[in-house]
Copies of this chain bind each other. A is one copy, B any other.
Amino acid sequence: MTDQYNNYYAGKTVVITGGAGFIGSNLAMELVRLGASVSLIDNMMTGHGGNLANLSAIRDLVTLNVSDVRDEMSLEYFIRNGDVVFNLAGQTSHMDSMADPFTDLKINTEAQISLLESCRRHNPSARIVFASTRQIYGRPSELPVTEEHRLEPVDANGINKMAGEWYHVLYHRVYGLKTTSLRLTNTYGPRMRIKDARQTFLGIWIKSTVQHGEFEVWGGEQLRDYNYVTDVTHAFLLAAAEDAAIGKIYNLGHHEVVSLAETAKALVGVAKTGTYRVCPFPKERKSIDIGSFYSSYEKIKSELGWVPRVKLSEGLSRTLDYYADGGLERYL
């Protein structure tokens, strides 16, 4: 497929924080294909997305630096020469954020300030694209959720990501940094964390299905939209290449809106194995249940021409193939 950024990345120096993680590694593979020089920064923290298995196809074609974004010296070394910074390092688990809001704050807010300060001081003209999340909207008051929707996060992760995103807006407005934020919805695909639900509930659903097991669907009626990972990496590549995206915030999303129960049905249908059981939403998680959520992606469609290309059934099929083809054990 031809994209408008196809020549943009050849010869460019690109830094990806959280580069050994799910989206970061998929993005790195695309960038290698496009001829960019790619450095991945990842702290490889246990319980997060960083996994060497994600990089097996490009291990010799990229630089992997194991360090934390809050390591100022190390970060400066990479930032100084970066044309583009894809800022994906983050903590994504809602439960972890409630169990330890301090660590979540350090990763999702403090580390973001570190990165922005480093760019401001050492490379103010770099393009920066930040992985934000629909989680900051909280429980929607109207659907689909546009970028104008109020931010009412329902967990510590949402609060800290909201603050991290606003720092990207602030550093654009005050210092002129060329930042863009993408508010991701549920992203799935090869290289996602499937060991547990820390990235998305789909992770354990997929693991269970590949293992021919049974998984639980909590509630079941709640509507969701999902993006296959290549649609998400496409959005990142577009956002960094287009001047129209500077200083902006965009939702991602999908026109296929399906209930959790329908999603489960689609998954076991595509897999032709596995089962699921619909059960009530656990009481202790009720306070962070956001009900139905799906977003409007009209803004990024009209301004950057982005639309999701991969249908849910197709994306689920490719994802299951990835883990079924001998990849599963590297993710357990």
Contacts A173-B287, A174-B288 given; does A101 touch B167 at CB 8 Å: yes
B-side contacts of A322, CB under 8 Å? none
Determine, out of A48-56, A74-82, A156-164, A213-221, the stretch whose residues face the partner at the interface: A156-164
Q: Is A27 an interface residue, CB under 8 A from the partner?
A: no
Write the chain B residue with the least CB distance to A169: B152
Contact of A153 among B98, B155, B166 (CB under 8 A): B166
Q: Is A145 an interface residue, CB under 8 A from the partner?
A: no
Contact of A110 among B102, B148, B150, B155 (CB under 8 A): B102
Contact of A113 among B101, B148, B154 (CB under 8 A): B101
Contact B150 A170 (CB under 8 A): no
Contacting residues of chain A (143-195) with chain B, CB-CB under 8 angstroms: 148, 150-151, 153-156, 159-160, 162-163, 166-167, 170, 173-174
Contact B102 A174 (CB under 8 A): no
Contact B163 A109 (CB under 8 A): yes
Write the chain B residue with the least CB distance to A167: B159
Docked complex Cα distance between A117 and B104 (Å): 14
Contacts A105-B113, A170-B154 given; does A160 touch B163 at CB 8 Å: yes
B-side contacts of A102, CB under 8 Å? 110, 113
Write the chain B residue with the least CB distance to A153: B166
Write the chain B residue with the least CB distance to A149: B150
- A310 to chain B minimum Cβ distance, whole angstroms, is 33
Residues of A within 8 A of B (CB): 98, 101-102, 105, 109-110, 113, 117, 148, 150-151, 153-156, 159-160, 162-163, 166-167, 170, 173-174, 287-288
A-B contact pairs, 17 of them (CB 8 A): A101-B117, A101-B167, A102-B110, A102-B113, A105-B113, A109-B109, A113-B156, A150-B150, A153-B170, A154-B170, A154-B173, A156-B167, A159-B167, A159-B170, A160-B163, A162-B166, A174-B287
